[in-house]
Chains A and B, each alone.
Chain A
Amino acid sequence: MFVELNELLNASPEKPEQGKLTLLRDTKTDGSFLVHHFLSFYLKAGCKVCFVALLQSFSHYNIIAQKLGVSLTAAKERGQLVFLEGLKSCFDVLFGEEQHVGQTNPLRFVSEDGSNLKTMYEFVRTSLMASGSDSWKCPVLLVDDLSVLLSLGVRPVDVLDFIHYCRVAVCSQLKGNIVVLVHSNDDSEDEENELVVNSLCHQSNLILWAEGLATGFCKDVHGQLKIIQKGSSELKAERNLLQIYQYKIQDKNVTFFARGMSAAVL
């Protein structure tokens, strides 16, 4: 996890918040560093994590997590991490033996009618349900990334239904958190994706939006991060809190600074 990002979010692994939906969004840049942050943050916090990793292999996340001080292999072995490797599951669905695939492969919608995410939801729910011997803190669902489901033929309404069901189960019933990554572009022509992104923006408690710099490539500033915290009280109409920082990604850390305050400039 990135210590500076924890400070900006006023978050601590000692006392993770509960019942929250966090949306990670990237535009014209790669926001996956935020996924790595939350993965290591919640594992260090002692939460049980279900990671739906659709776009990269397990070893990719593991190598980076080790740089951040967490071993995903060890977390899996002690039952703290349930890792769904989407690419591998999809391969099993298409090329695997029928009896090995079974009825519970979360990616089986790829070979069927293409839009039913019920099996994936059941996978998430059973992964995060507390078992008697568990002593983990609140459960967390992490998804990287949701936009891939649209590419696999899932309709936007089914993607949103899936998130809704997960929110009920994870945030509401199990008092846990959900963190989801989506891609978006201001001038995007992908209407289905924009529909999903906009809907999730309205539902989220916290939005972290990584954007490439409008002025183009820069060696010392890799992008801009907008942090939008929704007013927490439903009774009082509290305004959303918006903060904007710039960041630089390094090998084992990401540093954040106020706009125009990059170390290279000062």
Chain B
Amino acid sequence: MKIAWRYQNLPRIEVSPAASARFGHYYDGSKTVSPELLQSTKWHRFFLPEEKSLHPEIKTCNMTCGYTRLLQSIQRIIYQEGFDGSYPQKKQKNILRIGIQSLGSVLWGDDICCADNPEDIYSLTKFLYVLRGLLRMSLSACIITVPAHLIQNKAIMERVTNLSDTVVGLESFIGSERETNPLYKDYQGLIHVHQIPRLNSLICDVSGTKDLAFRLKRKLFTIE
């Protein structure tokens, strides 16, 4: 949480609007998840350096190795846990919630953040396309963070936006002239809702409020 707010977010989760002007969860940012909760919940972890080497038969389609392994891992979990309907879920039906951090950064083996001529400039967008297919064909939702300020190639960012359902940007005031602007003295940055999905409908719920800023306090993250 301490670092995440510096990044631009690309969530795929649909944010459902509420009738009242105030909504959201109270989430104490100063606490960690209790070990009891962790033990009782079924969760999976993907940490690239710990992954075994690539199964030789799986097609890589010229994607960065890290992305290919991540896709395989997600597909395996979806299949094994029954999120794709391949066999009925044993207990109450649930949705697989996926979180991916710093997609596009060198942590995934992608050089799109640090090279003028990346080795495979299409890796990131191919990954997003395949991921989109996985999500559409299963009971799952995914939220991704992308360090957009590190990706110089604006064309790629435009394509990333088009391949996503919901796109939200966090713009920090740090290092910008807005830091000293008295209008923003209570806030740490702006929130831009770049895109919201139109799924299964011609219309979408567009909020009337367009100017949003966020405030990060010791325990609370608020958007106003």
Contact = CB atoms under 8 A, between A and B. Distances in A.
User: Do these two chains really belong together in a complex?
Assistant: yes
Interface of A: 30, 32-33, 36, 55-57, 59-60, 63-64, 67, 87-88, 90-91, 93-95, 110-112, 114, 147-148, 150-153, 183, 185, 188-193, 216-217, 219, 249-252, 254
Contact of A190 (B61, B137, B159): B159
B199 A151 contact: no
Contacts of A91: 130, 133-134, 137
A189 B203 contact: no
B155 A188 contact: yes
Contact of B75 (A32, A95, A191, A254): A95
Contacts of B122: 114, 151-153
B91 interface: no
A192 B159 CA distance: 11
B61 A110 contact: yes
A88 B199 CA distance: 17
A79 to B, nearest CB: 25
25 contacts: A32-B198, A55-B163, A56-B136, A57-B137, A63-B201, A87-B136, A88-B133, A90-B129, A91-B134, A93-B61, A94-B58, A94-B130, A95-B75, A114-B61, A147-B159, A151-B126, A151-B159, A152-B126, A153-B122, A183-B162, A189-B154, A190-B159, A193-B155, A250-B203, A251-B202
A148 B163 contact: yes
B59 A93 contact: yes
A96 to B, nearest CB: 10
Given A63-B200, A192-B155, 15 more contacts: A30-B198, A64-B200, A64-B201, A87-B137, A95-B75, A111-B59, A112-B61, A114-B61, A114-B62, A150-B159, A151-B163, A153-B122, A191-B155, A217-B210, A249-B203
A87 B75 CA distance: 14
B10 to A, nearest CB: 14
A189 B202 contact: no
Main secondary structure of the interface of B (DSSP, over half): loop
Contacts, number: 103
Interface string B181-202: 0000000000000000011111
Contacts of B129: 87, 90, 148, 151-152
Nearest to B135: A87
Contacts of A87: 129, 132-133, 136-137
B66 to A, nearest CB: 16
A67 B163 CA distance: 25
B71 interface: yes
Nearest to A184: B158
Contacts of B60: 111
Most buried by B among A56, A94, A153, A192: A94
Interface string B62-77: 1000000001000100
Interface string B122-156: 10011011101110110000000000000001110
The residue among B58, B137, B202, B208 with the most chain A CB atoms within 10 A of its own CB is B202
Contacts of B100: none
B125 A152 contact: yes
A198 B58 CA distance: 38
B155 A90 contact: no
Nearest to B198: A30
A36 B75 CA distance: 31
Nearest to A153: B122
Contacts of B202: 33, 36, 64, 67, 249-252, 254
A61 to B, nearest CB: 9
A239 to B, nearest CB: 33
A93 B159 CA distance: 22
Contacts of A64: 200-202
Nearest to A254: B202
Contacts of B208: 217, 219
Nearest to A87: B133
Interface string B100-139: 0000000000000000000000100110111011101100
Interface in B168-224: 198-204, 206, 208, 210
Contacts of B130: 90-91, 94
Contacts of B134: 91
A59 B59 contact: no
